[in-house]
Structure 1
Amino acid sequence: MISKFKFSLIISLFLLLYSCGDKTKKISKIVEVDMESQMSNAYKEGYIELKAGDVLLAAKKFNEAELLYPQSPWAPKSAIMAAYAYYTQDYYSDTVYELERYLKTYPNHKDKVYAHFLLGMTFYVQIVDEKKDLKSILDAKKQFELIIKEYPTTEFAIDAKFKINLINEILASKEMYLARYYLNKSKWIPALNRFKTVVNEYNTTIYTEEALHRLVEINYKLGLTEESKKYANTLGYNYQSSDWYKNTYKVFNKNYRDGIKELQKDKKEKIGLIKRFKRLFE
């Protein structure tokens, strides 16, 4: 049996350990509250500096807020705000770094869609000359396509679709630039391939009509009459009233002058005949 002395000693030790554990919990909680308070202050300071226009100091404060209390739900928000601070003053390399770090550090955070959109916009605004550099264009398109696929019901998806349409116009413009160059040099096959890319991959752009006409023109020149007619039919079906269709019509009809005027003349004659016919009943 345990003696009274031993029993008292065990109880005393238990109480001492409990007391120490309770103090440790209290200290831990105090430290946690203090860290959260420091983080909150750093975040507020970052926001104030951002509004004041000092984006470098703002980004520094947001980074401090994240590091002070990384377990806080405000930590990932601070990371995004640091990226946004850089973005507002065109520090694009810093913006990309912060956003890519955020996406790696917080892969399941609820604001990921915003990070992808801001990343896409960072690449998008750096598009300068599509004839020289495609990297920014393709990087932007990749981010916007990801948003449409992963977050189709968000407002960001609507804007992403609009941005992709603009990007496709730029990419089609590059293809047309190269295609016309080959066309002027009588390099028919490279020209055909470029015009086909426009028709197959960028058929919603303003360049589709001309690309179809050029395919008619080149194939006809190469003696590929059936292939030429195929593209002519596509052009006629979709763009019958366009100038490019009239040019295509001339490829197959050398004596063609202006079919549209002829059609208008026929229409006027038809209307005049109807009016004269109506008079018989007046």
Structure 2
Amino acid sequence: MIRRVLPLLALGLGLVALPGCSWFSDWDGKQSSLDAERRVAANATYDNTPEGLYAAGVEALQARRFAPAADYFDQIERDHPYSTWATNAKLMSAYAEYQRNRYTEAIGALDRFIQLHPAHRDIAYAFYLRALCYYEQIADAQRDQRPTEQAMAALQDVVNRFPDTAYARDARLKIDLARDHLAGKEMNIGRFYQRQRLYAAAIGRFRRVVEDYQTTNHVPEALHRLTEIYLTLGLTEEAKKTASVLGHNFPGSSWYQDSYALLVDGAPASAQDRPGLMARAWNWVF
């Protein structure tokens, strides 16, 4: 449910607008008139005119019948490619495909829209929706992370191109979640190597979390895991240095308490197998 809110807010503005009026670009700071939207759809004659097809697509979207909605908007492009409705129909079709979880089709439509209409008033929304299509394909931390990397690149593109928009604000939040997701992947692999006593490989993974994902919630655990491994290998000074970094940056962390206990008397780490806060939040949301 959470992941659909922002696109739906934007769509509500698009449904009421006629060509020549502002669409999704009005999302930031304005409210849509849903009553007017319904009147447009209710009074329309659904014939093969671009107006009729567009109204039919709007009504289908309102009823959450996304497949026929996409068909109506696509038909405008096929039958009336030079009408004033055709450009808007491209974006509406992409949104309908997004709602159907047909992300490849939506991305293809958005790429064409961006290429053909780079100065369109709703170009920011097109880039944002394209980024969401990648973002929705992020799997759990056990799987291939290429979609996560693609999503981060697309979201960063939104931030770079449209830094002062609501789209950029939401993109920044999603980038943070995506980065945490990538860090979680590194942690999973590192823990596996640690359990298999492949300590050099585990150290490489945990160091990458510390160095490349410093703003994520996985860093305290990564430092603790490094402390554990160094002690296991008899590298006491390295363990002390790592625990010191952990204590300096995260003094209230349970991971620091566990590292301190290990250094003092070799006590077992009570938080050793507990996932971090962001990991639990990610699993709850997705």
In the superposition, the TM-score normalised over structure 2's length comes to: 0.69
Deviates more, 1:219-228 or 1:124-133: 219-228
For residue 189 of structure 2, what is the aligned residue in structure 1? 178
Summarize the Cα distance change of 1:41–1:232 in structure 2 as closer, same or farther, 3 Å threshold: same
Q: How many residues align?
A: 221
Report if aligned partners of 2:67, 2:100 keep a CA contact under 8 Å in 1.
Answer: no
Equivalent residue letter for 2:257 = K
- Distance in 2 (CA, whole Å) between partners of 1:184 and 1:111 is 51
| More relative contact order, 1 or 2 (CA 8 Å, 6+ apart) | 2
Q: How does 1:143-222 map to 2 (within 5 A)?
A: 143-222=154-233
Distance 2:114 2:89 in 1: 13
Structure 2 counterpart of 1:109: 120
Cα distance in 2 for partners of 1:223, 1:151 equals 51
After superposition, residues 129-140 of structure 1 pair within 5 angstroms as: 129-140=140-151
Q: Which has the higher helix share?
A: 1
The letter for the 1-side match of 2:140 is: D
Amino acid at match of 1:89: R
| 1:67 Cα offset (Å) | 4.5
Residue 233 (structure 1) shift: 2.1
Q: Which residue does the alignment assign to 1:242?
A: 253
Equivalent pairs: percent with the same residue? 36
How far off is 1:182 after superposition?
A: 0.5
Change (3 A) 1:56 1:227: same
Amino acid at match of 1:80: L
Corresponding residue of 1:90: 101
Say if 1:255 and 1:38 are closer, same or farther in 2 by CA, change over 3 A.
Answer: closer
Aligned equivalents of 2:228 and 2:59: distance in 1? Answer: 62
| SS in structure 2 at match of 1:110 | coil
Aligned partner of 1:131: which letter?
A: Q
Change (3 A) 1:255 1:222: closer
Q: Deviation at 1:126? A: 2.4
Query: For residues 3-27 of structure 1, what are the alpha-carbon distances to aligned partners after superposition, in whole Å with 9 as ceiling and x for unaligned?
Result: xxxxxxxxxxxxxxxxxxxxxxxxx
Partner of 1:44: 55
Q: Which amino acid aligns with 2:61?
A: L
Q: Contact (CA 8 Å) 2:209, 2:222: kept in 1 or not?
A: yes
Q: Within the alignment, does 1:60 sit opposite 2:71 as a pair?
A: yes
Q: Closer, same or farther in 2 for the Cα pair 1:256/1:140, shift >3 Å?
A: closer
RMSD of aligned residue pairs (Cα, Å): 2.5
**TM-aligned CA deviation for residue 135 of structure 1:** 2.5
1:225 Cα offset (Å):
4.4
CA distance in 2, matches of 1:83, 1:255: 58
How big is each residue's C-alpha offset from its partner over 1:238-264, in whole Å with a ceiling of 9 and x where there is no partner?
A: 22122211222234323789xxxxxxx
The whole-number CA distance in structure 2 between the counterparts of 1:230 and 1:213 is 11
Judge conservation of contact 2:114–2:126 (CA < 8 Å) in 1.
Answer: yes
CA shift at 1:96, angstroms? 2.0
Cα offset for 1:40?
A: 3.0
Distance 1:166 1:102 in 2: 28
Residues 219 and 46 of structure 1, relative CA distance in 2, 3 Å threshold = same
Secondary structure, counterpart of 1:64 in structure 2: helix
SS in 2 for 1:253: helix
Deviating beyond 6 angstroms after TM superposition, the runs of 4 or more aligned structure 1 residues are none
Q: TM-score, normalised by structure 1?
A: 0.70
Contact 1:76/1:109, CA 8 A, preserved across alignment: no
Deviations 1:115-154, CA, capped at 9 Å, x for gaps: 1221222222222333122222222111111111111100
